Copies of this chain bind each other. A is one copy, B any other.
Amino acid sequence: MDGAVFTVGSTLPDAPGRSGTITTPHGQIRTPAFIPVGTKATVKAVLPESIVQLGGQAVLSNAYHLYLQPGADIVEEAGGLGAFMNWRGPTFTDSGGFQVLSLGAGFKKTLAMDAVGTQADDVIAPGKDRLAHVDDDGVTFKSHLDGSKHRFTPEVSMRIQHQLGADIIFAFDELTTLMNSREYQEDSLRRTQAWAERCLAEHQRLSAERADKPRQALYGVVQGAQHEDLRRQAARGLAGLDFDGYGVGGAIEKENLGTIVRWVTDELPDDRPRHLLGIGEPEDLFEGVEAGCDTFDCVTPTRVARSSRIYTADGRHNLMVAASRRDFGPIEEGCDCYTCTHYTKAYLHHLFKANEYNAATLCSIHNERFFIRLVDSMRDAIEAGDFAALKQEWLGRYLSTSA
């Protein structure tokens, strides 16, 4: 019996996109779904009840962050991630693979989608004198909090994620960038495939050992950067293993997102859910849904909200513009979120000027609702048979008015 069961609902006539339902020990997720991020076991500035109210079906936290602070043992002792953070619905944890190599290595800046050099191999290549060292067994890295040294292996990531106890967890993978050499990408994929097998074995061992705990679903993560053959090879390799679902990770060229995701979903079994990791903007979500991904997470809605920027169907706007000072309308006409139905732009402008906590709270609520409502509308459109029309109409308006 798997930790999560997936059933497909409607499918697109001419693309891999579909609607469906993921069933976890903590409830169902109707897909496609946008999953709010609560990196450190809290969605920044938003209480869990507000997440429920704005339509959030699950929360995704991060194994790397929670391992460093407060420690996976404390989350386990609290009854697991959901109990710890007062979230009763389904939970995800990311494996930490991305973070040990990005935050830990301090190479976040090189993750930009545009290739600006070819030094990437040096940054994460084995044996170099860097903050993060990759070897075939795992990754040694320094904490971004205090510089202390730590080591993640596939087995360590699985043990941490079992302690955290999320319903859906991810295999430990190696992150590469668009700048890595072809040779390095091949070498890395071989490692990620071997790690996936070790994760699955350790996950099965831990699940048997902890049979009293709610079953957790393990997703394998498909890497391969921008290369079609590598993406397909990685997906086929993982498809041959008994994962409950699949993550699509790593660097993806934005302009090729739909194409790259389709290489992957083309190779994956249709009866397993797929999560597109850390993506993205509205246009990326349309591409990801059409290409057959079922769940999505991204910090963008809350991150940009904290700097007074809000999403609307007419593009992204900044509440700090002078015109907002006397604008007594909501952020977005017709939006059903708590913020839009109770507050004016003038009030939010004031809260940001006054540096008040509730500025971040109220804008985060709107932006999260915006993304959730958008992906929900894609689900409805798939089921109603008019996804293509929604995509054309919605994106036409959004992209024509965005800066």
Which positions in A face B, CB cutoff 8 Å?
A: 40-42, 44-47, 65, 69-70, 74, 77-78, 84-86, 325-326, 328, 342-344, 346-347, 349-351, 353-354, 356-358, 360-361
Contact check, B77 vs A326: say whether CB atoms are below 8 A apart: yes
* A344 to B, closest residue via Cβ: B78
Instruction: List residues of chain B with CB within 8 A of the CB of A85.
Output: 347
A361 to B46, CA, bound (A): 9
Q: Would you give the shortest CB distance from A328 to chain B, in whole angstroms?
A: 6
Contact of A70 among B47, B325, B357 (CB under 8 A): B325
Assuming the contacts A69-B350, A356-B44, A357-B45, asked whether A342 and B74 have C-beta atoms less than 8 A apart, the reply is no
A350 to B40, CA, bound (A): 9
Contact check, B357 vs A74: say whether CB atoms are below 8 A apart: no
* A355 to B, closest residue via Cβ: B40
Contact check, A77 vs B357: say whether CB atoms are below 8 A apart: no
Instruction: List residues of chain B with CB within 8 A of the CB of A65.
Output: 354
Q: Would you give the shortest CB distance from A286 to chain B, in whole angstroms?
A: 30
Interface centre among A45, A328, A354 (most CB of B within 10 A): A354
A45 to B360, CA, bound (A): 9
Instruction: List residues of chain B with CB within 8 A of the CB of A344.
Output: 78, 84
Contact check, A349 vs B78: say whether CB atoms are below 8 A apart: no
Contact check, A325 vs B69: say whether CB atoms are below 8 A apart: no
Contact check, B354 vs A357: say whether CB atoms are below 8 A apart: no
Instruction: List residues of chain B with CB within 8 A of the CB of A42.
Output: 351, 354, 356-358
Instruction: List residues of chain B with CB within 8 A of the CB of A45.
Output: 357-358, 361
A42 to B351, CA, bound (A): 8
Contact check, B361 vs A357: say whether CB atoms are below 8 A apart: yes
Contact check, B357 vs A357: say whether CB atoms are below 8 A apart: yes
* A362 to B, closest residue via Cβ: B47
Q: Would you give the shortest CB distance from A61 to chain B, in whole angstroms?
A: 12
A368 to B242, CA, bound (A): 52
Instruction: List residues of chain B with CB within 8 A of the CB of A357.
Output: 42, 44-45, 357, 360-361
Contact check, A346 vs B74: say whether CB atoms are below 8 A apart: yes
Instruction: List residues of chain B with CB within 8 A of the CB of A46.
Output: 358
Contact check, B70 vs A346: say whether CB atoms are below 8 A apart: yes
Interface centre among A84, A349, A358 (most CB of B within 10 A): A358
Instruction: List residues of chain B with CB within 8 A of the CB of A353.
Output: 69-70
Given contacts A74-B350, A78-B346, 12 further A-B contacts (CB under 8 A): A40-B350, A41-B350, A42-B354, A42-B356, A45-B361, A46-B358, A69-B354, A70-B349, A70-B350, A77-B328, A86-B343, A361-B361
Instruction: List residues of chain B with CB within 8 A of the CB of A358.
Output: 42, 44-47
* A50 to B, closest residue via Cβ: B47
A78 to B360, CA, bound (A): 21
* A79 to B, closest residue via Cβ: B328
Interface centre among A70, A350, A356 (most CB of B within 10 A): A350
10 tightest Cβ-Cβ pairs between the two chains A and B = A45-B357, A70-B350, A86-B342, A40-B354, A42-B358, A42-B356, A84-B347, A69-B353, A44-B357, A69-B354
Q: Would you give the shortest CB distance from A299 to chain B, in whole angstroms?
A: 14
A300 to B350, CA, bound (A): 23
Q: List 24 A-B contacts (CB under 8 A).
A: A40-B350, A40-B351, A40-B354, A40-B356, A41-B347, A42-B351, A42-B358, A44-B356, A44-B357, A44-B358, A47-B358, A47-B361, A69-B350, A69-B353, A69-B354, A70-B349, A74-B325, A74-B346, A74-B350, A77-B326, A77-B346, A78-B346, A78-B347, A357-B361
